[in-house]
């Protein structure tokens, strides 16, 4: 059984009165970016309470990148959570966003095209050297 996002938000806000909890969770669902921009402690609660896929569904990846500032990440506890969101921000920064479309830029083989020269062996002619693995 999957718990809805509205229910998870209300559970996240356990420390405020029930009437305000429902109102605030409705506001978050309606306009999460502005609510989290106005109250970084609320955003930190969301980072500590919600799973990654729930956050990206609630807030777009582009907006999540904008909200994940150094200041916010440094307020997270424990250290592993800070590392997770620091790595998430670094990973999201490789994307170019345009509307609902995203393009990931990743320079996997950022090395020279060729190093050294091939050599002839008894079994194969023109055997490549170990320096050229993943270089082209």
Note the pLDDT tens digit of each residue in 38-48.
Answer: 999 999 999 99
- Quote the percentage of the chain above a pLDDT of 90: 60
Owner of token pair 């307020």: 75
Radius of gyration from C-alpha coordinates of the chain:
23
CA distance 42 to 32: 10
CA distance 70 to 72: 5
pLDDT, residue 102, reads: 77
> Quick one: how far is CA 10 from the chain centroid?
23
Residue 16 pLDDT > 80, yes or no?
A: yes
Output the 3-class SS for 95-115: EEEECCEEEECCCCCCCCCCC
pTM for the structure as a whole: 0.72
* Half-sphere CA count of 18, side-chain side, radius 13 A: 0
- Please report, for the chain, the start and end positions of each structural domain, with discontinuous segments joined by +: 5-97, 106-136
pLDDT, residue 2, reads: 54
| Mean pLDDT, the chain, integer | 85
What is the maximum alpha-carbon separation in the chain?
A: 81
pLDDT, residue 1, reads: 37
């Amino acid at each position: 059984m999957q718990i809805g996002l509205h229910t998870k938000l209300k559970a996240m806000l356990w420390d405020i009165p029930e009437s305000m909890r429902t109102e605030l969770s409705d506001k978050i669902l309606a306009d999460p970016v502005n609510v989290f921009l106005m109250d970084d402690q609320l955003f930190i609660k969301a980072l500590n309470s919600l799973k990654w896929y729930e956050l990206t569904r609630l807030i777009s990846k582009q907006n999540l990148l904008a909200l994940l500032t150094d200041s916010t990440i440094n307020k997270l506890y424990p250290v592993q959570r800070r590392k997770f969101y620091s790595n998430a921000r670094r990973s999201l920064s490789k994307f170019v966003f345009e509307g609902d479309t995203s393009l990931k830029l990743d320079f996997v083989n950022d090395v020279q095209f060729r190093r050294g020269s091939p050599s002839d062996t008894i079994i194969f002619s023109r055997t490549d050297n170990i320096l050229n693995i993943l270089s082209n």
